Structure 1
């Protein structure tokens, strides 16, 4: 792994901030979409983050994996719930989804789970 999960998270968050400085309307619209999407409704925020973990692993988006593992933990998800969500992605994405789930996703849980205990 070229970067730690925390380095990925910091790089992503700093990148969003930098984009917001030059493309305020676009970044603001994206952040508003995220805020609206992840509010509790028929599904609670934790469930939505677990869905996002599975989608991120399926799409092999490193920044998405790290961000949504962090947000899932922040929302109260357990290691077991996050890994189970990732294993659903493996049913659709096969080996590549398993590769990301068994490396970066698992390392992200290891890195961040103590932040929320």
Structure 2
């Protein structure tokens, strides 16, 4: 079982440190990500479900952890998050299923506690 809270904290600290090393590039990246994941014609909830699927498909553990937490914050349910990851499995096969069954489910089980 992954300690997804520790992973989330480590990523936040690492991104902060990287921002200190290269504030121009990281500021631009953060601005772009903020704009892409803001409420628009497509809801933030839907965007986070898309991000969950892409994170699972890409097998990026830190992305999975981050976007599962953000999906809950955006109002997604456990079932919606798992269904989005299941769509990703349809395209990513066994490797995506492995990351969904482990890291993603660990994140769902942990962060869901914050929204009950």
TM-score by length of 2: 0.96
**Could you give the per-residue CA deviations for residues 27-85 of structure 1, whole angstroms, max 9, x where no partner exists?**
11111011100111111101000000000000100000000001001101000000000
CA distance in 1, matches of 2:49, 2:82: 9
Number of equivalenced pairs = 116
> Structure 1 length as normaliser, TM-score?
0.95
Deviation at 1:116, TM superposition (A): 2.6
Unaligned regions of 5+ residues in structure 1, if any?
Answer: none
The residue number in structure 2 matching 1:59 is: 58
Instruction: Determine if the alignment matches structure 1 residue 10 to structure 2 residue 13.
Output: no
Other-structure match for 1:34: 33
Which residue is equivalent to 2:96?
97
Q: Which runs of 4+ in 1 moved over 6 A?
A: none
Structure 2 Cα separation of the partners of residues 35 and 115 of structure 1: 23
Specify every segment of 5 or more residues in structure 2 that has no aligned partner in the other structure, as ranges: none
Offset at residue 101 of structure 1 (A):
0.5
Structure 1: distance between partners of 2:104 and 2:44: 19
